[in-house]
Amino acid sequence: MKVNTRLDEAEGRIEKAKERIQNTEDVVTAMLKLHTKLEDKLLDLESRSRRENMRIYGVPEGSEKESTTMISFVENLLREGLELTHDMPDLQIERAHRSLGPQPPRDAPPRSIIIKCLSFKTKETLLHKAWQKKGFTWQENRINLDHDYPPLILKKRREYTEIRKKLKEKGVQFQTLFPARLRVRHKDGTRTYETVEEASEDLLRRGYAVTTASGDAHGAGAAADRDEGGQTSKDGPSRMGSKLQGEAPSLQESITDPLRDWRDLTYARR
């Protein structure tokens, strides 16, 4: 009788523990969903806060020392490089500075210059002029302009670097869309890729020598550029779409999977 009673008590405690574990998992899952939702909102807010910003790539470090302010240097640079006429008497630049961080070594790419314009319309006009010219050359340096993307979006966009190199080599037209998609004009039509994995797999099937998402090199030349620094999408960070794809493992998976495994192991020991 004592044995049966103790077994009943043990089973009762196990059932209560299982119930608590399930409740904990439900709470954690709900919190992770809320966390993901808040992360998306935060990224959207950060993207919107940068709508009037743009970056200038390729300007050598120290080039601005001869100017009284960085703003005056940038204005002269853009007027000269973009051949701006008198129809734009005021570029409406509120602030301008190098990207944060220590000054890189001489043999490293220079830091970009971040510009905040007072007017979104002015910023878009400058970017479109730069895209039409495909950048410009200033003192034997290739200068490019682009949106000021949040770090997460910029990281995802840079994952297409090698693919863009291969497409340029083949003379294939493409466009990097916001937030991190790639539109390619193939001979049989235009296709838009949502992730770098999707793009890699399809381009491999089409005979392009690109690196797969897992990092396996196919063909020669699998190295990626260190900096994008080129003309990309005409859709700026004025809106944020769905959550960026291709991130593995997700935060929810990294927590719920161990919880699920631990629960299964507990059940197996009964």
Q: What is the pLDDT of residues 18-28, one digit of tens each?
A: 999 999 999 99
Residue 116 has which token pair? 């905040």
Q: What is the three-state SS of 65-102? A: HHCCCHHHHHHHHHHHHCCCCCCCCCCCEEEEEECCCC
- Sequence-ordered list of residues with C-beta below 8 angstroms from that of 129, at least 6 positions apart, any chain: 82, 84
List the domain boundaries for the chain. 2-48+248-268, 51-148
What local confidence, expressed as pLDDT, does residue 127 receive? 94
Q: Does the pLDDT at position 148 exceed 90?
A: yes
* 28: CB partners within 8 A, 6+ apart: 255, 256, 259
The CA distances from residue 74 to 58, 124, 127, 139, 140, in Å, are 13, 16, 14, 14, 17
Asked if residues 2 and 229 have their Cβ atoms less than 8 Å apart, the reply is no
Q: How confident is the model at residue 188 (pLDDT cuts 50, 70, 90)?
A: confident
Query: Which residue in 97, 101, 77, 128 sits closest to 234, CA to CA?
Result: 128
Rounded distance, CA 162 to CA 269, Å? 50
Cα 116 to Cα 67: distance, rounded to the nearest angstrom: 18
Q: What is the mean pLDDT of the chain?
A: 81
Inter-helix orientation angle 151-158/2-49, to 10°: 90
52-99 pLDDT, tens digit per residue, is 999 999 999 999 998 999 999 999 999 999 998 777 778 889 999 999
Residues 195-231 pLDDT 10s: 889 998 888 888 888 775 544 433 333 333 333 334 4
Q: If DSSP codes are grouped into helix, strand and coil, which group holds residue 109?
A: coil
User: Regarding predicted confidence, which is higher, 250 or 79?
Assistant: 79
Per the rule left: phi > 0, alpha: psi between -120 and 50, beta: everything else, 126 is alpha
What CATH number does domain 51-148 carry, 3.30.70.1820, 3.40.50.1700, 2.60.40.10, 3.50.50.60? 3.30.70.1820
Instruction: Kindly report the pTM of this predicted structure.
Output: 0.66
The whole-angstrom separation of Cα 96 and Cα 116 is: 6
pLDDT tier for residue 246 given thresholds of 50, 70 and 90: very low
